[in-house]
Structure 1
Amino acid sequence: MFHVLTDRNIGGAGRWLLNYLKHHDRETFDVWVVLPSDSALYPEVTALDVAVIPMKDMEDKSFDKKAGKALRKLFQEEKPDIVHTHASLTARMAAKKAGVGKIINTKHCMETAPGGLPKKIVRRMLNKRYSDIIIAVSKAVKRSMVAGGTDYRQIVTIYNGIDAIEPVSPEERAEILASYGGNPLKKAVGIVARLEEVKDHETFLTAAKEVLQQRQDIMFYVIGDGSLRASLEERAIALDIYDHVIFTGFVTNVEKIEAALDLNVITSKHEALCLSVIESMSAGIPAVGTDSGGVNEVICHEKNGYLVPVGDAKALAERILEVLAYEGEYRLLAENAKIWAREHFTAQKMTSRIERLYLEERK
């Protein structure tokens, strides 16, 4: 079986793949991974003792005409039973032309705008022709695909799973936050997300401004990197909160800082599920997030965190202050978050469901 992923950086799809590979049934499935030769995933996958086939000419995009020929040749020579792709339409087309028995695709993000009827028909035809089964990582992703024209009978919802991360001691927390220039004596509110428009860090920073007008014992952590870093730093300066905001840049072992937070925030305009929130929840960290996409499948309002409208900085600030104001309420949210994440979003459950799907598809 081949997994094909075109990402050069380690995003949600890459973390999905790593979580699957850690738990997959090596006796039943001989798994190979196809990646761009310069992908950051390459050493991570090989460290798990999984074979990687590097593709020199593979671009970081779904349709990549020049990679098609090489992929088709690879599939014809190796004759895999299953090709499982992660967004790569080119790999699905190559697998079809090579006569691969089953083609499975995982949809890791919300579908783009549905568009008119012609666009829906084209999307439906492409998915019918080049995918036997499509895995949606949340119910929201499935709904967005159906709205975009995909036949609902093709889609199976399997939640992303994670390896639970353990809570850190006060000493570990202090060391982790200090290593990024933070103040361990202050509450830590963080957002773990690519610094891109869809994640809406602008709302996070605006809410931070409102919070800091009422409490000065909180620091805000922007965890991750992306094309908007410089403009977001400029925005923090313009809001006069730069001294209270830590921009960590790309973090390799992000689980450590996720466990060191007091509150995890996600402000996405469109979000498939949000692994970072699930991971921090598994360590007993509650969350506040925008009610977008699959976020409400992770955050249960008033039980393990709070949901706020997309783009509503005032509501976000109010909820941040509320969570951190009452110790008893905080402990209840934290315990509920930990139980919820560890019960519903484990890598073992995800892997088991996926491999049952593989076996069903081979019949």
Structure 2
Amino acid sequence: MAEEKMKIYHVLTDKNIGGAGRWLLYYLKYCNQDRFDVRVVLPKDSRLAPAVAQLGFPVISMEAMEDRSFDKKALKPLTELFQKEKPDIVHTHASLTARMAARKAGVPRIFHTKHCMEAAEKNTLKKLAKRMVNHKYSDCIIAVSKAVRRSMIGGGTDPAQIVVLYNGIDMIPAPSAEEKKAILSSYGVPEGNLAVGIAARLEEVKDHATFLKAAELLAKKREDVTFLVIGDGSLRERLEAEVKMMGLRGRVVFTGFVQEIERLEAALDLAVITSREEALCLSLMESMSAGVPAVGTDSGGVSEVLRHGENGFLVAVGDAEDLARRMEEILGDQALYEKMSRNAKAWMEEGFTAEKMAARLEKLYMEGEKR
């Protein structure tokens, strides 16, 4: 007689495909479908839905659910869904409403993954309130890095509730010389130029201004480098105006939203992140898996991905001069570049693959069942 599958419902409120959505897609790709019956609950018209369905998993579209953590009108339909379907685990990603609904519906266990850094809370009463909410509506809280765990503790969460489980990715093969040339050429990188890229939402927290200042400094020393700003966001017009004022038009390329971003990340010569705070940084991980060295700000979980002097360099947040110096150092030293390239790929393979992430998550699911 076949063993009954454990029924897992993942709930995301995102309408776009952000970090949580990419995490979910990576997990689903390696989910043990012989042991787990996984369904995904999303807001209506979420861009994530077709990608989930393409992997063969059922999607429940919730018209009442908005793209925010607490959504009062979604509480009743989510509660009714869980009461009807009786999942063994509800695993939420930012949705407090889904956690409340799961508890109200009597779901045996509630998991919650924190995909971003949490602001420190100085108010003792607010910290106590957050701890009480987490105890009431979560049985296990997953932090995607040690830095996220520390930030959650600073915000009031009970350390005993938190488990660190690193995000995982698929290792990306390095493109051939011809493939790389074609990919970069399609984004306007002149033949023979090196490509330095930052793949991040064009929002304040990612601090593209520091990247552009560093690009300005490096551009004065090297004419063979093109800087790629990969992605889109609310600051695009402002950043494009800054590039024009700096005289960097033609040296800095804004790609906009890139559908198959991994191909471009793997084609870079150097990956950069300048975030003021970062949970872990999938874009660096994906580039590094293809053997691309990196330079990143020492913010949050970046230092858990980027090992200073081994697979890239860490710089202080907002330090454009040091960023430019480190970029120049890597690009100008072939032996150093090759060493960092090998180390970047090996480090990703050792601890950050999606297959390992999925196995570790499912072990957590099973451990709870045994208790």
TM value normalised by structure 1: 0.99
Mapped partners of 2:191, 2:94: distance in 1:
40
5+ residue gaps, structure 2, are 1-7
Are residue 307 (structure 1) and residue 292 (structure 2) matched? Answer: no
Which residue number corresponds to residue 93 of structure 1?
100
Question: How far does residue 242 in structure 1 lie from its aligned partner after superposition?
Answer: 2.1
* RMSD value, Cα: 0.8
Q: Is the 8 A contact 1:173 1:184 kept in 2?
A: no
Are residue 321 (structure 1) and residue 328 (structure 2) matched? Answer: yes
Residues 140-180 of structure 1, C-alpha deviations (whole Å, 9 max, x = no match): 00000011110000000000001100000111111111112
| 1:351 aligned residue (348, 351, 358) | 358
Which residue number corresponds to residue 235 of structure 2?
228
Q: Which runs of 4+ in 1 moved over 2 A?
A: none
Question: How far does residue 113 in structure 1 lie from its aligned partner after superposition?
Answer: 2.9
Which residue number corresponds to residue 56 of structure 2?
49
Residues 314-356 of structure 1, C-alpha deviations (whole Å, 9 max, x = no match): 1100000000001111000101101011111011110011001
Question: How far does residue 3 in structure 1 lie from its aligned partner after superposition?
Answer: 0.2
Which residue number corresponds to residue 4 of structure 2?
none
Which residue number corresponds to residue 111 of structure 2?
104
Q: Which amino acid aligns with 1:341?
A: M
| 1:261 aligned residue (245, 259, 268) | 268
Question: How far does residue 361 in structure 1 lie from its aligned partner after superposition?
Answer: 1.4
Q: Which amino acid aligns with 1:9?
A: N
Q: Is the 8 A contact 1:37 1:56 kept in 2?
A: yes
Mapped partners of 1:250, 1:57: distance in 2:
28
Identical counterparts, % of pairs: 61
Are residue 275 (structure 1) and residue 303 (structure 2) matched? Answer: no
- Superposition pairs of residues 111-190 of structure 1, within 5 angstroms: 111-190=118-197
CA 1:184/1:58 → structure 2, altered by over 3 Å: closer, same or farther?
Answer: farther
Q: Is the 8 A contact 1:114 1:120 kept in 2?
A: yes
- Superposition pairs of residues 204-223 of structure 1, within 5 angstroms: 204-223=211-230
Mapped partners of 1:56, 1:40: distance in 2:
14
Which residue number corresponds to residue 5 of structure 2?
none
Range with greater deviation from structure 2 (175-184 or 334-343): 175-184
Mapped partners of 1:57, 1:251: distance in 2:
30
SS in 2 for 1:145: helix
TM value normalised by structure 2: 0.97
Mapped partners of 1:203, 1:84: distance in 2:
37
Are residue 35 (structure 1) and residue 42 (structure 2) matched? Answer: yes
Mapped partners of 2:249, 2:20: distance in 1:
32
Mapped partners of 1:169, 1:273: distance in 2:
28
Mapped partners of 2:191, 2:296: distance in 1:
24
Question: How far does residue 68 in structure 1 lie from its aligned partner after superposition?
Answer: 1.1
Residues 237-294 of structure 1, C-alpha deviations (whole Å, 9 max, x = no match): 1111121111111111110000100000000001000011111111000000000000
Mapped partners of 1:22, 1:35: distance in 2:
18
SS in 1 for 2:37: coil
| 2:70 aligned residue (42, 45, 63) | 63
Are residue 13 (structure 1) and residue 20 (structure 2) matched? Answer: yes
